Amino acid sequence: MADVEETLKRIQSQKGVQGVIIVNSEGIPIKTTLDNTSTVQYAGLIQQLVLMARSTVRELDPQNDLTFLRVRSKKNEIMIYLT
Residues of span 24-63 touching another protein by CB under 8 A: 24, 26, 28, 30-31, 55, 58-59, 62-63
Closest CA to 76 of 36, 47, 34: 34
Q: Give dist(CA 22, CA 2) in Å, integer.
A: 17
Residue choice 10, 35, 44, 52 for contact with another protein (CB under 8 A): 10
Summarize as ranges the residues that interact with another protein (CB under 8 A): 1, 3-5, 7-8, 10-11, 14-17, 22, 24, 26, 28, 30-31, 55, 58-59, 62-63, 68, 70, 77, 79, 81-83
